[in-house]
Amino acid sequence: MKKNRILSFFTLAIVGAIVLVTACKKNIPDVRLSLADDMQFTVKQYQPVLGRNTLYAANFSVGSSSIPLNFKIVNMRRFTGEPAPELTDFFPVQVWKTAYDGTEKSIAEIEAKRTIENHQLFEIRQSSGQFVMWAKANSNFVKAQPDSGYVFDVEVSNSGGRKYFKDFKLRPFKERAFEPSTVDASNGQNIFLGNTTNFSNIRGERTGRFLSPSREDVVVLFNKKSDAGNSLTFKFVDTLFKPINPDKFNTTQWATLVHGFDMVKDSEKVTYKVAYPIPLAVYPTPYTIGNGAAARSTFRYERQGFGNIKETALLVLDYAIYEKGDWEIIFWFKTERPKFTND
């Protein structure tokens, strides 16, 4: 009997402890994340160029807020206050499902890394606050400068609540199919025939002087021959636009000139099969400048100058092409033909 009383006592003690713990737990407030007043967006106006993927990173400061945070664009509207279905509807866009790294050996291998997903053409990444404008957006249906564009708000939230940031501006520029561009960014109209580029140690055949970028001795022209293809052609022409044989650039590394395939070279041009855009991603590869933001193609040749001195000539183009097609890049030696022969 005494043993039963002891067991009953311990049973009651355990039950009491459970009840006490449960009661205490009910009185503990929910753990909520903080949403501080010092968080902020560092940029309130966005001006992407239509026709290319544009990412705005490092544009939000969390301050003393707790993370994770959730971001959402709300109340997207045209500057006039009208709805903006072109930016709230979803469209098929091309995205990378596997990272591009520049080692791909064919267009098929590149395309196998890309897929199609449905996205709003201007969106905010839910967890980071980064804005993205997708290349699918174009001025045929998205308003571009000089139009006043769009206004929108952003909701930032966590379990501690939500906060709204008002009246962001989105004022896209019209498409610029290539860079360096010949287009006036404010209205999309062509204002130049071509651009200069970097070069060194290129002597003129007629005068023997070194050609100079500042004199516009060499002009670079971009020409889109077709919307349907996937090729890039390089040409060199003299003052009268007569072709110069690419083989004259006798130390050029043709295999690594561009991330292209199935090279065909003849006496007038050299052509590659390529995937667009060029560069395919903002990622450093052997075909780009150091930060990967532009492609770099370098043409070289050597000749013997006076005194049996070797002269190494360089012609360097940093560029980007954003529209698919059959493109050609023409180097026009506008004032005189390069001197390739030895002295």
Residues 301 and 225 in one domain: yes
Alpha-carbon distance 333 to 219, whole Å? 7
Q: Which of 138, 170, 202 is the last residue of a domain?
A: 170
Residues 147 and 190 in one domain: no
> Which pLDDT does position 30 carry in this prediction?
54
Residues 94 and 151 in one domain: yes
In a domain, 13, yes or no: no
In a domain, 340, yes or no: no
Alpha-carbon distance 187 to 227, whole Å? 23
In a domain, 33, yes or no: no
Q: Which of 141, 170, 199 is the last residue of a domain?
A: 170
> Which pLDDT does position 339 carry in this prediction?
97
> Which pLDDT does position 35 carry in this prediction?
87
Residues 95 and 221 in one domain: no
Q: Which of 152, 170, 188 is the last residue of a domain?
A: 170
Task: Point out the residues of the chain with pLDDT beneath 50.
Answer: 1-25, 28-29
Residues 212 and 311 in one domain: yes
Give the DSSP letter string of 73-107. EEEEEETTS-B-HHHHSEEEEEEESS---S---SH
Q: What is the largest CA-CA distance in the chain?
A: 124
Range of the domain at 264: 178-333
Residues 142 and 272 in one domain: no
> Which pLDDT does position 36 carry in this prediction?
86
Whole-structure pTM value: 0.88
CATH for 79? 2.60.40
In a domain, 281, yes or no: yes
For residue 18, give the 3-state DSSP assignment: helix
Give the DSSP letter string of 4-29. HHHHHHHHHHHHHHHHHHHHHHHHSP
Residues 147 and 264 in one domain: no
**Domain count within the chain:** 2
In a domain, 300, yes or no: yes
Residues 284 and 189 in one domain: yes
Tokens representing residue 283 in the block: 């990622």
In a domain, 139, yes or no: yes
Residues 266 and 235 in one domain: yes
What's the distance, CA 107 to chain centroid?
19
CA-based nearest residue to 194, from 229, 252, 227, 241: 241
Tokens 């070194």, residue? 210
Residues 182 and 313 in one domain: yes
In a domain, 9, yes or no: no
In a domain, 5, yes or no: no
pLDDT digits (tens, 9 = 90+) for 234-293: 999 999 999 999 999 999 999 999 999 999 999 999 999 999 999 999 999 999 999 999
Residues 144 and 266 in one domain: no
CA atoms within 13 A on the CB side of 339: 20
> Which pLDDT does position 140 carry in this prediction?
97
> Which pLDDT does position 14 carry in this prediction?
47
Residues 163 and 182 in one domain: no
For the chain, the helix, strand and coil percentages under 3-state DSSP, each to the nearest 5: 15, 40, 50
